Amino acid sequence: MQLEAQAQENLVTTAPAAGADPEALKGDESLIEDIRLLGRLLGDAVREHEGTAAFERIETIRRLSVAASRNQDAEADRNLDALLRALTAEEARTVIRAFSYFSHLANIAEDLHPLQQRARAQASGAFTGAPSLATTFARLRKAAVGAGKIAQALARGWISPVLTAHPTEVRRKSLLDAEHAIFKLLAAREHMRGKAERAQNEMQLRARVSQLWQTELLRHSRLTVRDEIENTLSYYRSTFLREIPRLYADIEQRLDGLRVPPFLRMGAWVGGDRDGNPNVTAESLSTALRMQCETVLRFYLIEVHELGAELSISRRYAGCTKALEALAARSGDDNPHRDDEPYRRALIGVYSRLAGTLEKLTGGQAARHAVAPGEPYANSWALLADLVTIDESLRVHHSEVIATQRLEPLIRAVEVFGFHLATLDLRQSSDRHEETIAELLSAARVVDDYAALPEAEKQQLLLRLLSDPRPVRLPGATYSDRATSELTIMERALEMRRLYGDEAIRHYIISHTETVSDLLEALLLQKECGLMRGTLDPRDAQRVIADLIIVPLFETIEDLRNAAPIMQEFYALPGILKLVVNSGGQQDVMLGYSDSNKDGGILTSIWELYRASTALAEFFASAPNVTLRLFHGRGGTVGRGGGPSYDAILAQPPGTVNGQIRLTEQGEVIAAKYANPQIGHVNLELLVAATLEATLLSAHKTPAPEFLEAAEELSQAGMAAYRGLVYGTEGFVDFFFSSTPISEIASLNIGSRPASRKPSRRIEDLRAIPWSFSWAQARVALPGWYGFGSAIAHFIEEDEKARLAILRRMSEEWPFFRALLSNIDMILSKTDMSIAHHYAGLVEDKALAARIFGMIEAEHARANDALEKILGSKERLADNPTLARSIRHRFPYIAPLNYLQVELIRRHRAGERGEDIREGILMSINGIAAGLRNTG
């Protein structure tokens, strides 16, 4: 290869990834240009810092991979494999860094491109019909849904993305900051016309890419819970604190100025989710809420300081209300130069009180000293009252535009974020609750072996204890560390609510809910720790209240089928309905996408989630004064409920949304959706848009009976095929642990939470994230499609023509089935059986590998055949050519990462333990995830 003849055509620039092939993307010139530019700059950085030999090696690998992937060149594939196998661990690490960083840079360009297209469409007044708030409001207008009805729906609504920790990836803030800077520089190029200006911009980009290359891709030390908390908080600083108020302003503008109360709020798990994570303790809970509080208070301090600098309004030229005068008088500011500036003085007083609040609640000091000591605010409502006083004075005295543009966003932020920032959920397994209750009851000599009691006797005993004002805990008694830890966390939750407000902790999630007693146990723990006041005794009916909503999490297929019956039985118990109504009348129920998929496969998981949602909605529709809110435990992969949130919400059963939805956001999906504020705004907008459509337009669109019957039949056949492989095939566990990086993810895990709940190799004990993540890394993505092909083949076996007609109607008329097909279509487009074959080569028992991989290949072929028959196209993603091109052109740049991951895993398992091996595996995991984008 004559490098000099390429005119500086550097790393991955001859056939750009991420959908940047010039022939395939004629009309996407800006995207092509951006990716070529970033690729060239990355190549220059590699050559400058690693030398020409390293650069040429990477270029050779790239060209071989392109030939092998796009041209199906078998010789190129063999040469590529041989070249990669011959690399030293240090050389491999450099190659992995190069291809990983290219995926990150390509993602930046790909993320920017649709935003630019969207902005151009808005500027021209074009209506594209693509999902957006504008599209949703247009549909609502067409359906004669007025602004008043929309405002009412939002006023009753509760929409909450919940950020959770991820055991396989935490994005470094240094990288997020660098990537955001590159994004902004790249975006600025669209409006540059002069050569000098573009040249200067390119130099700035070159500096940022060079900085990126010299920055560690990953942290090398195991992350603590505190690290994970800090990582999560970075998304608030970059996106949520500013973009959520902007979204409210946009919505209210579309509602002709009608103001809506807060309906979009953030949730969090990091620091409160102790299910299977012994590192989450009462101290973690305190740390999380203290750090959340500090983040939001420092944001308020910055905003108030800037407002004080801006609102230099003089009393000589504009009046103010008496309330504003009084607020200014209490500020403690006696500077004569500001005597005629009441707004500035009032804000100085607000700043002083906020500084005092920060010190009181977190021990921190404000970045700028307050003019005078201020009394800490008792709560966020007191702060809000002062801001409203300023706002009202501005509006009364002809400064409405200032109030709307500058003060209103801060007021909205305080309404949404309070002093707690995000509602932190508590989560623990029902097994730990039972263990703790059993110990308490044994020590109190109530019953020797609570766990051995039949379910009916457990319920009777728990109801009796919940109706008795006396505590079960004995003063001065000594309990085990595990029981003490559970009780201490509950007691700490009570303290945190008093300190940061009731919304700081509102939900108590019970993993593995299987029985009514699982709910009663969590309620009894609340009572023991002061979080429940009053009893279930009928004489206490008017005053009994629980601070935390008991949230059952139904995870397995059987549990999903029992979800509605369990809730019906729970609410039939004496005193429960009254307790819930007194406590706010809200009942959250969490549905587990990940574990239900691991249990029954993609078809049965999605179908049983649909059925459980429907049954729960039907029951709670008849429960007086109780509002059901479904909490969707979705991940990034299709196998974990992933896929576009907009489509997923519209695919929910009719009548199950009703303006109420919570859903988890995890792993690299958080970074992809929320690290960039512009992209974050769009994703938040789509979340609101979908919820409005599902509530106001789709609530009564019931699917045809034959669709429901077909879905049930498909579910049964799909589950049989899936469980036949995963749980019924001898040697499957050995195959999985050998042919995927699961062992390395577990042993090299840098997250705070273990990859398995128990120290075993049982699939049942493995956490769903490492399960899905490992299959995605190996380019199989088995949880996202396995069983689908067999189910379709079984369904059309009797009468292919008639049965296919039903399936095609389902695809056209039923959002649920259409979303399912779309997700399977997408995930199959990201699989690569030729690369997966390399991973299967890691299995020592070659006969076992051939047998099980053969089963996987056969089902993969059936799945593709099934989609072709239903959708009418052999090509994957035929209805989304932009995404199809993106994925297709990414493959040559992901493949070297896969090949090197296999090679480094082989060396690691053979006993090589060098740091380069470890780092190489970890970086390859990150790079593949960045390339595939939704793997966790």
Catalytically active residues, by annotation: 166, 598
Within 8 A by CB and 6+ apart from 358, the residues are 294, 297, 298, 301, 364, 365, 366
Q: How many CB atoms lie within 10 A of CB 144?
A: 7
Q: How far is CA 122 from CA 353, 673, 882, in A?
A: 42, 21, 20
Residues in the chain: 936
95 three-state secondary structure: helix
154 three-state secondary structure: helix
Q: How many CB atoms lie within 10 A of CB 636?
A: 29
Residue bearing tokens 């240094």? 174
**Helix/strand number for the chain, H first, E second:** 38, 11
Within 8 A by CB and 6+ apart from 823, the residues are 638, 642, 643, 784
Sort 841 into a burial class: Cβ within 10 Å, 0-12 / 13-18 / 19+. Answer: middle
User: Kind and range of the H or E element at 38?
Assistant: helix 29-50
Alpha carbons 463 and 458: distance in angstroms, whole number: 9
Of 809, 608, 632, nearest to 703 by C-alpha is: 809
Of 589, 643, 245, 216, nearest to 413 by C-alpha is: 245
Of 562, 418, 443, nearest to 500 by C-alpha is: 418
Do residues 659 and 668 lie in contact, with contact meaning Cβ atoms separated by under 8 Å?
A: no
What single-letter DSSP state applies at residue 403?
I
How would you list the strands of the sheet with 507-511, edge to edge? 423-424, 267-268, 158-163, 660-665, 627-633, 586-592, 549-554, 507-511, 426-429
Sort 720 into a burial class: Cβ within 10 Å, 0-12 / 13-18 / 19+. Answer: middle
591 three-state secondary structure: strand
Amino acid at 378: A
CA atoms within 13 A on the CB side of 643: 27
The two tokens of residue 170 are 């935490």
Of 35, 252, 157, 163, nearest to 672 by C-alpha is: 163
Do residues 407 and 387 lie in contact, with contact meaning Cβ atoms separated by under 8 Å?
A: yes
Residue bearing tokens 């078809």? 603
Phi–psi pair at 838, nearest 5 degrees: -65, -40
Of 792, 819, 774, nearest to 721 by C-alpha is: 792
